[in-house]
Structure 1
C-alpha cells in the first residue's frame, strides 16, 4: 500500500518569479531533481504530470537514486524506473503517468534524486515554479551518471515531477494547502525549512506540501495556478494516504487588489469576506466527501506589506473571526495570534518576519509547525 511522501503542485508554464525552463522546455537533455521524502519504505514510485502540456510528453527513460551532493547520487543506489514494464513512456496532453515500483530502501526525511531523459522536444513544461531547491540539467542521456559533473545548468523550479510515493502503508498523511506561505517563500533555499518540512520532522507523519506561490481561492492565474477550489482534488484528494487537510489560504484574494500596478496581479477583483467563506465551505465539503479531517487556519498578520490596505484589513479580520468561531472546521488553528507582534497585532512579530511583512522566516515557519503539531 503506497503513501505519497512528497508532492509539488503542477503549474502552467510561465515566466514566473525567477528564471526557469518551463516555457522553453527540454530536448535531448537529462533533468535531475532531488526531493526530501516525509515517509520511508522499501519500494518507491513517481508521478509525472503533463497537466498543462498541449502535446504528448515522451519520457525516454527515468531513474531514482539516493541523493548525493549537488547533482551527484549515492553509488550503488541508482534504479531504473519502468512504466507498465516499459523503459519509456508517453504521457498524453493533460495526462499523468505513474511509474512501476522500484526496490529501494528509503528512510523518512531522506532525499531522493529523480532523473529524466527527455530525448524529444517536450514543448512548454508543466512545472512548479518555486522549489526553494536546485534542479539540474545536462545534455544527452545521463540517467546512470553517479557524479554530477555533466549537469552544467541549474534552476530553482521542479519540472514534470509531481509526487513520490513509497510503500509505507500510511494513511495519516497531512496535506498543507495554500499559497506562497505554504510553498515556503521566505525560508532558506536548499535547507528544507518550509513549515511542511518542519512539521514532518516534529510529528514523524508524512506531510505533503500543496502550496503554490501567489495562488488564490477564487480565481485562476497564469502565473499562480488554478484557483484553490478547483485544484484541491488533483493536488490533495487524489494523493495516496492523506488523512488530514490543513487550509491556510485567502491572503492573495484579499491583498492583490491593494498591490498597485503590478501586472502579474491582474485581474485583481476586490473580494468580500462572504466570498472567501463560501470557498472555505467548498474545500471542507470536498475534503469531507473523501473522509478527511479538515483544519482551518486564520490568515497571518500582514500589516505593513504591499497586500495591506483599509479594505484588506477589514476583510481579513472578518475572515479570521469566522475561521476562529464558525465551528465548521474539525479544528481551527489561530496562526494569526501565534505570529502577531504583541505591540501591533496586525503585523508579523519582527522575530518571525522574512522582511516583507508578509512571509515568515525560518523561525516563523518553525512556530507554525509547532502550533499545528499540537492539533494533530
Structure 2
C-alpha cells in the first residue's frame, strides 16, 4: 500500500492516530492477500518518521474476523533473526519470511508492538479496513478483547508479501493511483475496490498473479502534497520499482492534476501551478521509461469522469479530454484500460452513470468499481 505523511482528520473529518503515534501499545491490522503461498513476510515503513522507529515485536496470523486471530496460527516475525528492529528515518524494514500457508483472497492479521514512543506515524489514510489498538503487549492474543479502539487508517505497515520460496518470479501487478484506486466510495470492510474485483477475476481464471494496491486518495502525478502523498513520478521508484516480482504496473493518475489544476489551499504547496496536457503526458512517459528499463509492462488507465469534482469547469473537462485522447491513441502504453468508458453515462460522457457513482457524485460505488475491474483484458496483465 502507498504510505503518506502523518496528518489529522481535517481533510475528510475521519480521525486517525498518525500524529500522536503509539507508546506501550499493540496495533493489529487486517490485510487481504490476493495470491496464496507457503510463506509470508511483512514490510514496515518509517518513510515519514521524525526519528528512528523501534518495533518491539511483530506477529502475523490468519484472521478470525475483526481483531481476532485464528487460534493456533500466530507466527512470530523476526527481522534478520531478531525479535525486534529499529527502522531508520526514511527507511523500511522487511521481516524474515515465516511459514504460514495462505489461500488466495484470504485475510491475515498483522500485529505490531511498540514499547517506546514512536512519534508521528507513517500511515495510509484511507484504509477501508479497520485497524485496532490495545494498551500493552497483546501480540499473541487470539482474542479481540483487548483491542477496544479502532481506526479506518493503517499504520507503518507498507506491504505483505506472500510466496513459495522467495525467488525471482514476476507474478505481481501493482496498481498505482489516486482515490479511484484507493477505493474511496466503496463499502468499507467489503473488499470492493477495483483491485479487489480484479484479483477475484484473476483467481477465478486460475492465473497465479497477485495484485498490490498502491493507491493514495488525492494523489497527483506531478505535485507532492502534505495531505495526499508524494507525487507519482517520485513515489514510483519506491511503490513500484522497489517491490519484488513486479511484472506489470497499472497507472491511474492525473485526475487530481486535472481537477485541482487551479486549486489553492493548505494541502497544496506554494509551488503548485497549473499544468498543461503536455506536462501531464510527459509525466506518464517518465513512468513508462522507468518501468520499461526494468522490464515491467505498463497499462495506462484513462481519467474517470470529473463532473463531481469540487471546482469542476469546462476547462477542467477540456484538459481531461486532451489527456484521455493521448492515453488512448499515443501508443506509449503497452495496453490501455478505459476507466472513463467503463463509468461514463453514454448520454452525458462528462458524468458517471448514476448507478455507478457514490453519494459524492465523483467516486465510483461498489458497482462502479466492479465495472472497472470487468473492463480489464486479463491477458494485458
One fold, TM greater than 0.5?
yes
Instruction: Give 2:156's match in structure 1, choosing from 153, 160, 165.
Output: 160
CA distance in 2, matches of 1:321, 1:79: 50
1:14 has 2:18 as partner = no
1:264 correspondence with 2:259? no
Q: Is 1:77 matched up with 2:73?
A: yes
Q: Helix, strand or coil: the match of 2:31?
A: strand
Distance apart, 1:305 and its partner CA: 3.1
Contact 1:258/1:309, CA 8 A, preserved across alignment:
no
Tell me whether 122-131 or 333-342 shows the greater mean CA deviation. Answer: 333-342
Is 1:128 matched up with 2:132? Answer: no
Superposition deviation, residue 59 in structure 1: 0.7
Distance 1:233 1:114 in 2: 25
Q: Is the 8 A contact 1:45 1:164 kept in 2?
A: yes
Residue 206 of structure 2 is matched in structure 1 by none
Sort the Cα spacing of 1:343 and 1:258 in 2 relative to 1 into closer, same or farther, 3 A.
farther
1:181-260 aligned within 5 A: 181-204=180-203, 205-257=209-261
Shift of 1:290: 0.9
TM-score, scaled to structure 1: 0.95
- Tell me if structure 2 keeps the 8 A contact 1:258–1:312: no
Asked if the contact 2:259–2:306 (Cα under 8 Å) also holds between the matched residues in 1, the reply is: no
CA deviations 1:281-324 (Å, max 9, x no partner) are 01101111110111111101122432521221111110011111
Aligned pairs for 1:136-155 (under 5 A) are 136-155=132-151
Instruction: Check conservation: 2:131, 2:152, Cα contact below 8 A.
Output: yes
CA-based RMSD: 1.4
Shift of 1:338: 2.0
Residue of structure 2 equivalent to 1:357: 361
Q: Which stretch shows the higher mean deviation, 332-341 or 97-106?
A: 332-341
Partner of 1:293: 297
Q: Equivalents in 1 of 2:308, 2:181: separation in Å?
A: 20
Partner SS for 2:267:
helix
Query: C-alpha distance in 2, partners of 1:262/1:107?
Result: 45
> Which residue of structure 2 aligns with residue 346 of structure 1?
350
> CA separation of 1:178/1:219 partners in 2, compared to 1, >3 Å: closer, same or farther?
same
SS at match of 1:68: strand
Q: Secondary structure at the match of 2:176?
A: strand
Provide the TM-score with structure 2 as the length reference.
0.94
Distance, in Å, in 2 between the alignment partners of 1:75 and 1:270 is 54
SS at structure 2 position matched to 1:196:
helix
Q: How far apart, CA to CA, are the structure 2 residues paired with 1:110 and 1:195?
A: 17
Uncovered stretches (5+) of structure 1, i.e. residues with no partner: 1-7
Q: 2:288 aligns with which of 284, 291, 311?
A: 284
Give the secondary-structure state (helix, strand or coil) at the position aligned to 2:65.
Answer: coil
- Equivalent residue for 1:59, pick from 55, 65, 87: 55
The DSSP-based 3-state class of the residue aligned with 1:214 is: coil
User: Tell me, what secondary structure is at the counterpart of 1:372?
Assistant: coil
Partner SS for 2:376 = helix
Point out where structure 2 has 5 or more consecutive residues left out of the alignment: 204-208
Point out the more displaced range, 126-135 or 335-344: 335-344
Displacement of 1:257 in angstroms is 3.9
For the residues of structure 2 that align with 1:356 and 1:262, how far apart are their CA atoms?
20
